[in-house]
Amino acid sequence: MSVLTPNPSPPFNTTRISHVVLTSRDLDKTRYFYETGLGLEVTHHDADRLCLRALEETSHHSLVFEKTDREGPGLCRRIGYRAYTDDDLKRAHEHFNSRGQQAEFVERPHQGLTLQLHDGVGVPIEFCATMDQDEARMQRFHTHAGGRLAFFDHIQIACHDVSAAYEWYSDLGFRLTEYTAKDGTEEMWGVWLKRKNNTQDVVFGNGPGPRLHHFAYHTPEVANVIHAADVMASLGLADTMDRAPGRHGIGNAFFIYFRDPDGHRIEIFTSHYNVIDVDHKPKRWDLSDTRRSQLWGFPAPKKWFFEASEFEDVEVKKPLMEATPVTLEAFLESW
């Protein structure tokens, strides 16, 4: 499909990605991984729920874990976005229900008015405009630890119908910054969509889905990414590294990926760029161009493309597009 013109007057104002809610079989292990290892701040912990946030965040949470006794890998329960005001939430409620998309107001701990629904490809999402607030740790430098994570930045979702996701979010005013297409075509394999000023709030990539591929926190310096790896290694958590440090061509991010005790993938990264001006043209990448995933030329391992957290009670569908990216294993075989 061709590049769309995002809706300049969406039915309500979405400002950014807000939070993600996941399941955990052992909240204490999860807390150790994220607090002691990566340096996030715990804002709530009881027998059923663990909430965390990053250094610059004043809102109560950007990452939530809910206790589960389910065997196997953890699940994602919902993705959270911020609307600008409660009036925007009311307009969103009217907008979705007028189109036959069921949306309902729900109660969430530490959040104000919250609207719950499923997006155009079946992802469970919610919008809120307010949360409980408290002073950030930004200038309490003696408390900075682990990867010194500054703020929750984006999510990536493996999606069976990338075009449908792109159209749904474009109608809500999300802008395309970069995209991957099958070589020689405009058939989109992946789309990077944003509401805030940088390159992405949500990414959709072709694959069985919908499934949560990863969520990402920004840190201000490349040295922090390396320090995070050193800290995790010193804590005996080196084996949780899912993908070694490198630089994405898409977004320009210097990154590292870890998998938490329930298998959820988290990215720590820095150095992406601002996208603000309306005439900023989306950047296109060929699917076969390994620089898009790793600017230095080494592609991602197979597991990075095919493993992800399922959404609770959401059917995983076969992708409509048949297109296989170049994996590290295939690359090394031909080297």
Nearest Cα neighbor of 45 from 72, 23, 67 is 67
pLDDT of amino acid 302: 87
Does 164 share its domain with 119?
A: no
Identify whether 6 is part of a domain.
Answer: no
Q: Is the pLDDT of residue 85 over 80?
A: yes
pLDDT of amino acid 299: 83
Residues ≥6 apart with Cβ < 8 Å to 113: 86, 89, 105, 128, 129, 130
How far from 209 is each of 118, 121, 216, 263, 304, CA to CA, in Å? 14, 9, 19, 17, 14
Does 214 share its domain with 184?
A: yes
- Residue 29's domain comprises 14-132
Does 118 share its domain with 152?
A: no
Q: Is the pLDDT of residue 124 over 90?
A: yes
Instruction: Name the domain count of the chain.
Output: 2
Q: Is the pLDDT of residue 332 over 70?
A: no
pLDDT in tens, 35-60: 999 999 999 999 999 999 999 999 99
Query: How many C-alpha atoms does 119 have within 13 Å on its Cβ side?
Result: 29
Does 113 share its domain with 200?
A: no
pLDDT of amino acid 301: 86
**Average pLDDT across the chain, whole number:** 95
Does 224 share its domain with 279?
A: yes
Does 190 share its domain with 53?
A: no
pLDDT in tens, 243-253: 999 999 999 99
pLDDT in tens, 260-270: 999 999 999 99
Token code pair at residue 39: 């340096």
pLDDT of amino acid 1: 79
For residues 66 and 76, what is the distance between their CA atoms, to the nearest angstrom? 10
Domain's final residue, options 99, 132, 165: 132
Identify whether 157 is part of a domain.
Answer: yes
Q: Give the N- to C-terminal CA distance of the chain in Å, as an integer.
A: 34
Please name the residue that has the structure tokens 């104002």.
Answer: 13
- Assign 333 a pLDDT band (cuts: 50, 70, 90): low
Does 174 share its domain with 267?
A: yes
Could you count the other beta carbons within 10 Å of the beta carbon of residue 140? 11
Does 250 share its domain with 162?
A: yes
Residues ≥6 apart with Cβ < 8 Å to 247: 253, 254, 255, 271, 294, 295, 296
pLDDT of amino acid 305: 87
Domain's final residue, options 132, 164, 187: 132
Does 120 share its domain with 196?
A: no
Does 43 share its domain with 82?
A: yes
| DSSP 8-state symbol, 282 | P
Q: Is the pLDDT of residue 164 over 80?
A: yes
Which residue did the predictor score with more confidence, 213 or 2?
A: 213
Report the run of H or E that residue 42 belongs to, with start and end. Answer: strand 41-45
Task: Specify the CATH number for the domain of residue 116.
Answer: 3.10.180.10
Q: Is the pLDDT of residue 147 over 90?
A: yes
Identify whether 334 is part of a domain.
Answer: no
Identify whether 9 is part of a domain.
Answer: no
Q: DSSP of 210-250, one letter per residue?
A: SEEEEEEEE-S-HHHHHHHHHHHHHTT-GGGEEEEEEE-SG
Token code pair at residue 315: 């059917």
How far from 306 is each of 40, 224, 312, CA to CA, in Å? 27, 28, 18
Does 287 share its domain with 241?
A: yes
Phi first, then psi: what are they for 155, rounded to 5°?
-130, 160
- Assign 329 a pLDDT band (cuts: 50, 70, 90): confident
Identify whether 7 is part of a domain.
Answer: no
pLDDT of amino acid 99: 95
